[in-house]
Structure 1
């Protein structure tokens, strides 16, 4: 940690702490994830190191950039870029009930989907897609962050229990204790899209039991008719209860109204 000065703690999750730091050599700000590995078994430690190696290979304009990692006094530290624009969750709350334009929603959604494509094409699951994990850079680009690091710690049932806050993004299959799969990421993507359209969570309840019942029944308040049929229809496809009925991220990006926005963000050779 000698190369960095702590600025402040910015978050705490089931994995550990997130700290905003300043690099001593260039004064740039980064986020460091601190994961306590001292109580892990050797197998779990190995798994965490492997995951960090996976993160290190994620280079994409819509994914928060990994800088380096190191181990020190029983902790694993992962250094990532800091997104000055804050997260999408805060951006949604700042609207104070005023709906975003469809253009704005689709621009953000395309970028999140391109990031997820990059992940899924590599046969990796993100496991933690939520509006608090989607960041805006200073230039207003959207970046997906925070992979379900330390998947070992996050066996899904464990995740449901230790989640800080209510797990609004759980899919029906997770609620039924089935394994997490790429379509569970797609469900969570649907939750984020719904949130951008309504400024609310699709599935909300006063307690976990009622939330699970709502998710399993798959019923959610309709999205404003002020949005196009295509957009509203896409949300209902992402919320299909059976994971097999949900589209893959590639087929989402092939939909006409989505596809025509892609070149705004990426040149075709990058994403095809």
Structure 2
């Protein structure tokens, strides 16, 4: 810890604290220092923390929060990550105070979130906790990045189904609510929840109790977003909220949609928007190549 200057506390949980910090002698660049007290953690939570370090170290993509390093000291695990000065997406939504985002802004962020999620899914990893609070903004709010891999799960193959009920209640998929096996399509449902929130500034499924919330999620019924938005955007939400996982699109299919293709050029100026999305593992540049 001596090599870091702690500036302020930015978040706190049951076993962890997150600090805004700066490496001593490292110039003005700031970072987030996540301090996890592993001594007080049950075995499963301790294992999840170690898994987060492993997963973060494997991720290298402009739309995923950058992992710098990790170390252990005095019974604490420290994870050093990129600081996103725009805060998280949920805070941005609250700051709107009822004023709807433009469709241009919504799709721009959504494309970036999808690119980050594609990077994860291509590596046979489920995020399992996609929500507005785990999407971070930087560069004046223009860049969106996926973060918090604390409960992510790696699959042996793309068809393997996970069975652990995890996630945040508002973002749970019908298959998790019904205690059914699930795969990467559960992340797609949660992605739909985030898109809906960007369009309406509220959760798609709300209730006074967890039981009622589960019923509403399993029915897949939600108030339609404002007609202020294009039919293509409103239809996209409907595709993400298909009750049966097999009916939901993959993240690669999402990136092929005309609505998304029109924004991909702004993310990767030198690539032309055509029919297929390929991610080059070395550069992590997204290029669109014709089939």
**TM-score using structure 2 length:** 0.83
Q: Counterparts of 2:43 and 2:213 in 1: how far apart (Å)?
A: 36
* 1:246-261 mapped onto 2 (5 Å cutoff): 246-261=248-263
Structure 2 partner of 1:114: 115
8 Å CA contact 2:69, 2:80 repeated in 1: yes
Taking CA–CA contacts closer than 8 Å with sequence separation of 6 or more, which of the two structures ends up with the larger relative contact order?
1
Residue 144 of structure 1 pairs with residue 146 of structure 2: yes
By how many angstroms is 1:46 displaced? 6.0
* 1:80-91 mapped onto 2 (5 Å cutoff): 80-91=81-92
Residue 78 of structure 1 pairs with residue 93 of structure 2: no
By how many angstroms is 1:49 displaced? 3.2
Q: 1:42 to 1:106 in 2, by over 3 A?
A: closer
1:7 aligns to what SS in structure 2? Answer: strand
By how many angstroms is 1:33 displaced? 1.9
1:168 aligns to what SS in structure 2? Answer: helix
2:71 aligns to what SS in structure 1? Answer: strand
2:202 to 200, 203, 207: 200
Structure 2 partner of 1:244: 246
**TM-score using structure 1 length:** 0.88
1:10 aligns to what SS in structure 2? Answer: strand
Structure 1 partner of 2:55: 54
8 Å CA contact 1:173, 1:180 repeated in 2: yes
2:180 aligns to what SS in structure 1? Answer: coil
* 1:95-110 mapped onto 2 (5 Å cutoff): 95-110=96-111
By how many angstroms is 1:54 displaced? 2.3
By how many angstroms is 1:228 displaced? 1.0
Structure 1 partner of 2:159: none
8 Å CA contact 2:48, 2:150 repeated in 1: no
By how many angstroms is 1:271 displaced? 2.2
Q: Counterparts of 2:94 and 2:45 in 1: how far apart (Å)?
A: 37
**Number of matched pairs:** 264
Q: Which ranges in structure 2 are unaligned for 5 or more consecutive residues?
A: 155-162, 272-279
Q: 1:207 to 1:70 in 2, by over 3 A?
A: same
8 Å CA contact 1:9, 1:20 repeated in 2: yes
Q: Counterparts of 1:251 and 1:132 in 2: how far apart (Å)?
A: 25
Q: Which ranges in structure 1 are unaligned for 5 or more consecutive residues?
A: none
Which consecutive segments of 4 or more residues in structure 1 shift more than 4 A? 39-48, 149-152
8 Å CA contact 1:48, 1:151 repeated in 2: no
Q: Counterparts of 2:148 and 2:242 in 1: how far apart (Å)?
A: 25
Structure 1 partner of 2:216: 214
Which structure is higher in helix share?
1
By how many angstroms is 1:235 displaced? 0.3
Structure 2 partner of 1:6: 6
8 Å CA contact 1:48, 1:150 repeated in 2: no
